[in-house]
Amino acid sequence: MIPISMRGFAEVSAAPTKSKLSRLKKYKYPDSDESKGRSNYYVKALAAIRHHHHSNKSELQDILDDLVIAASDKSNKRRQSKALNNLRAINDYLKHFSYRHLKPLRGKRLYFFHKQLKVSAQPDLYAEESGKLRLIKFNFGRKDHGGAVVAIMLHVLYEAAIINGLKLPPNQVECIQTSSGSNISGPKGGFGPAKNLTVMADELIALWPSV
């Protein structure tokens, strides 16, 4: 089985041919905390967002206070950097999206499979908004993902949701990029055929042994 994240699949698939191997290497052999998974690196940011939408003000403040303490600890540079990044992500999210009336929900793990490829298609947030289910993927980084990367991630997320029995229209999967405040949803008219993803998957499978 070849495991890869939804972001990794999208970045490799969207990369120019000459860059695909180097992009794939990053995900086959992750060498930094953040590249191992944003949901792990930004676990405090995700928790803070959930508490904000649950109106758990004291729990949100506790997270912020803990991060401020960690961010001021110069004796542990890695811990300090992680805390600063989580604080930035939280502040950016609240600046751009605090107005949204999202109700966080429990969800199940989603995957997109093709042959021996297993793409983790877990949204960072299952939520209800105005009676509609939302599957949200966050980009907490300083730089926005390119349009092709976002489009592929959303398509993978949508297909994985449908395969796992979640009935929702394409525009209810979305990618929130906190730094710029952009929010991109799937197309109302629908994604292209799932075959587009399997073609990308075949290419990644073929490249995998070369990395």
Local structure of 6: helix, strand or coil = helix
Amino acid occupying residue 197:
L
Would you state the structure tokens that stand for residue 9, as one six-digit string? 């699949």
CB atoms within 10 A of CB 46: 22
pLDDT exceeds cutoff 70 at 6: yes
CB 78 within 8 A of CB 126: no
Query: What's the whole-number mean pLDDT along residues 190-211?
Result: 96
Confidence tier at 31 by pLDDT (50, 70, 90): low
**Nearest one of 143, 70, 61, 132 to 100, comparing CA atoms:** 132
Residue 32 has pLDDT above 60, yes or no: no
In the three-class reduction of DSSP (H, G, I as helix; E, B as strand; rest coil), residue 4 is classed as strand
Helix (H, G, I), strand (E, B) or coil at 180: coil
Question: Rounded to the nearest 10 degrees, how much is the dihedral formed by the CA atoms of 126, 127, 128, 134?
Answer: -60
What's the number of CA atoms in the CB half-sphere (13 Å) around residue 191?
A: 27
CB 145 within 8 A of CB 138: no
pLDDT tens figures, 77-110 = 999 999 999 999 999 999 999 999 999 999 989 9
Please give the backbone phi and psi of residue 98, each rounded to the nearest 5 degrees, phi first.
-65, -20
Q: In the prediction, which pLDDT does 28 show?
A: 87
pLDDT for 124 beyond 90: yes
Q: In angstroms, rounded to a whole number, what is the distance separating the alpha carbons of residues 191 and 210?
A: 31
Q: For residue range 126-166, what is the model confidence (pLDDT) as tens digits?
A: 999 999 999 999 999 999 999 999 999 999 999 999 999 99
